[in-house]
């Protein structure tokens, strides 16, 4: 006997993501989903971004990792409100699903925030699949990772609204073709803005911060 | 890597869809549609399903997967085509100013279409 079902398997996550979107809209907070492979420098970029933006706007952070509170501890120096999610309590998931964000965002409190940044778990595959109700998605790739990553992980670069190419201070020491990686990103996602930065030396951070601030302000004006 | 989460959702939906009036139901086949861009690895999914369906009506269920090709549509010339490499730009319109922008028509599906119960 065949039973007709016709259902999206990730429907439940979509419903939860819609709930988050409504909550973020209610609180007038812009939400950025920050994704990358492990070790690309997400947390360092986040630190620099927070230090530079915090005088002007109020920022909260949700950091996701399978284990440890290391990232939340690193971010404490920025004075941003930070909460850590460890997915090992939830089966060691390699991405943050929408229902985890719901609980953390409410615990953090979004009422007074202008910007909420979710630092997703280091992984170029799974986080791309799970909508968390964010306003924008950013993918970080570092110059130590190889130029063909956008072609190997097309969905991540397809769903992202902006890309940050990090660790450009290392370029003189590597056989890395920054032009080629940008071409590959453009093949997968034409028109996506790409910012070349070094979180360490802070080179190139300004255009990235402007891009982010512009979006935060746009959402504020809309509501 | 995200196959376990997908497997759990799949099993949940299948379990919820078994009619309540069937005695000792046994699900033999799950018919799925999965887009090629969804990065679901078939043997990982099969493995996860096998583990989590032990001692349930879905034990030993067989997955029949219809893999959906990645198709895109050019917003400039309205052409539609299938891509097998991740190039999301229209080859005919990309030289034009602001042209060649495409949208995804298919390839991200993760759907459960139906299931077959043993008679």
B24 by Cβ neighbours in 10 Å (0-12 / 13-18 / 19+) ranks as: exposed
| Calpha distance A39→B94 (Å, rounded) | 34
pLDDT at B98: 66
DSSP A203: T
Interface test with A, best of B16, B25, B39 (most A CBs within 10 A): B39
Interface test with A, best of B37, B52, B70, B88 (most A CBs within 10 A): B88
Residue A149 C-alpha, separation from nearest chain B C-alpha, in angstroms: 11
Chain A touched by B33 (CB under 8 Å): no
- Are B113 and A125 an interchain contact pair (Cβ–Cβ within 8 Å)? no
Contacts of B64 (CB under 8 A, 6+ apart): B29, B30, B31, B32
Phi first, then psi, for residue A117 (nearest 5°) are -110, 125
Contact A176, A141 (CB under 8 A): no
Chain A touched by B93 (CB under 8 Å): no
- Are A91 and B4 an interchain contact pair (Cβ–Cβ within 8 Å)? yes
Residue count of chain A: 223
Place of tokens 């601030």: A213
For residue B6, the SS3 value is helix
Tokens of A106: 């409410």
| Calpha distance A128→A131 (Å, rounded) | 8
pLDDT at A35: 96
| Calpha distance A184→A150 (Å, rounded) | 6
The radius of gyration of chain B from alpha carbons, rounded to an integer in Å, stands at: 19
Series of mean pLDDT values for 10-residue runs along chain A (223 residues):
93 94 96 96 95 93 87 85 81 81 94 96 90 97 96 94 98 97 94 96 97 94 76
- Are B37 and A191 an interchain contact pair (Cβ–Cβ within 8 Å)? no
For residue A3, the SS3 value is strand
Q: Which of A66, A99, A101 is nearest to A83 (CA)?
A: A101
CB-side exposure of A114: number of CA atoms within 13 Å? 18
Interface test with A, best of B41, B86, B105 (most A CBs within 10 A): B86
pLDDT tens for each residue of B15-32: 999 999 999 999 999 999
Q: Which of A6, A186, A123, A129 is nearest to B107 (CA)?
A: A129
| Calpha distance B32→B29 (Å, rounded) | 10
| Calpha distance B37→A90 (Å, rounded) | 26
Q: H or E segment at A81? A: strand A81-86
Contact B117, A1 (CB under 8 A): yes
pLDDT at A129: 87
pTM score, two decimals?
A: 0.88
pLDDT at A87: 78
DSSP A98: H
Cα–Cα separations (whole angstroms), residue A70 to A43, A76, A103, B10, B45:
10, 10, 20, 34, 32
Per CB distance under 8 Å, which residues of A are interface residues toward B? 1-10, 12-13, 91, 93-95, 97, 123, 125-126, 128-130, 150-151, 154-155, 158, 186-191
Interface pTM (ipTM) of the complex? 0.86
pLDDT at B90: 86
- Are A3 and B115 an interchain contact pair (Cβ–Cβ within 8 Å)? yes
DSSP B58: T
Instruction: Give the closest of A6, A129, A158 to B2, CB-based.
Output: A129
Tokens of B115: 């299931």
What is the mean predicted confidence (pLDDT) over B85-107? Answer: 82
């Amino acid at each position: 006997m065949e039973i007709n079902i016709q259902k999206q398997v990730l429907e439940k996550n979509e419903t939860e993501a819609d709930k988050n979107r409504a909550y973020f809209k209610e609180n007038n907070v812009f939400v950025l989903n920050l994704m990358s492979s492990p070790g690309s420098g997400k947390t360092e970029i986040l630190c620099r971004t927070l230090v530079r933006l915090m005088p002007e706007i109020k920022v909260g952070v949700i950091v996701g990792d399978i284990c440890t509170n290391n990232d939340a501890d690193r971010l404490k120096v920025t004075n941003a409100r930070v909460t850590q999610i460890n997915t090992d309590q939830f089966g060691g998931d390699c991405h943050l699903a929408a229902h985890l964000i719901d609980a953390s965002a409410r615990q953090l409190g979004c009422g007074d925030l202008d910007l909420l940044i979710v630092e997703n778990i280091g992984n170029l595959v799974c986080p791309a699949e799970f909508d968390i109700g964010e306003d924008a998605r950013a993918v970080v790739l570092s110059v130590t990772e190889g130029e063909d990553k956008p072609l190997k992980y097309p969905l991540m670069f397809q769903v992202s609204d902006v890309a940050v190419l990090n660790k450009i201070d290392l370029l003189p020491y590597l056989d890395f073709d920054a032009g080629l990686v940008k071409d590959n990103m453009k093949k997968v996602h034409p028109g996506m803005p790409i910012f070349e930065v070094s979180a360490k030396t802070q080179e190139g951070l300004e255009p990235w911060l402007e891009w982010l601030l512009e979006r935060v302000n746009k959402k504020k004006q809309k509501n | 890597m995200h196959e376990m989460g997908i497997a759990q959702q799949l099993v949940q939906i299948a379990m919820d869809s078994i009619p309540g009036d069937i005695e000792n139901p046994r699900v033999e086949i799950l018919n799925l549609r999965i887009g090629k861009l969804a990065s679901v690895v078939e043997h990982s999914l099969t493995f996860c399903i096998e583990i989590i369906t032990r001692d349930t009506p879905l034990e030993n269920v067989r997955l029949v997967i219809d893999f959906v090709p990645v198709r895109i549509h050019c917003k400039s010339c309205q052409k539609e085509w299938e891509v097998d490499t991740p190039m999301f730009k229209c080859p005919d319109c990309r030289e034009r100013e602001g042209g060649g922008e495409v949208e995804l028509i298919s390839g991200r599906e993760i759907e459960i279409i139906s299931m077959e119960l043993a008679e």
